[in-house]
Structure 1
Amino acid sequence: MGVKLRERWGRQPVWARWALAVYLIGFLVGTRTHVLDVARDGVHAYAMFPQVPLQVFFVSLVVLDPLVIVLVGLARREGIWLAGAVMVLDMCGNWWGNRHWLHDDPSQLMRLVPLTIFGVFVVASVLPLHRAVAGMADKPETAVPSA
Structure 2
Amino acid sequence: MAGRSRGSQAIRAVWILGYLIGTTSHIVDLALGGLGVYGEFPLGVRLFWVSLTILDPLVVVLLLLHRRTGVVLGAAIILVDIAVNWTVFASVGGLSPFGSISQTMFAVFVVATARPLWRSLNGDVREES
> TM-score, with normalisation over the residues of structure 1?
0.76
> Residues 71-108 of structure 1, C-alpha deviation per residue, up to 9 Å, x if partnerless?
1111110111111011011111111111147xx89xx4
1:34-87 alpha-carbon deviations (Å, 9 max, x no partner): 00101111222122322x211111000110011111111111101111110110
Task: Write the letter of the residue equivalent to 1:55.
Answer: R
Kindly provide the amino acid, as one letter, of the partner of residue 94 in structure 1.
N
Determine if the alignment matches structure 1 residue 10 to structure 2 residue 2. yes
SS of aligned partner of 1:98: helix
Matching residue within 53, 76, 79 for 2:70: 79
Q: Deviations over 1:11-41 (max 9, x none)?
A: 2122110000001111111111000101111
Aligned-partner SS, 1:10: coil
Stretches of structure 1 that go unaligned for 5 or more consecutive residues are 1-8, 142-147
Q: C-alpha distance in 2, partners of 1:45/1:135?
A: 37
1:30 to 22, 26, 46: 22
Question: Secondary structure at the residue paired with 2:38?
Answer: coil
Count of aligned pairs between the two proteins: 128
SS at match of 1:29: helix
What is the deviation of 1:122?
0.9
The TM-score, its normalising length taken from structure 2, stands at: 0.85
Does structure 1 retain, via aligned residues, the 8 Å contact 2:23–2:56? yes
- SS of the residue corresponding to residue 121 of structure 2 reads helix
- Assess, with a 3 A threshold, how the Cα gap between structure 1 residues 136 and 17 changes in structure 2: closer, same or farther: farther
Identity %: 34
Moved over 4 A (4+): 135-140
Secondary structure (helix, strand or coil) at the match of 1:99 reads: helix
Q: Distance in 2 between matches of 1:44 and 1:140?
A: 44
Which structure has the larger Rg over C-alpha atoms? 1
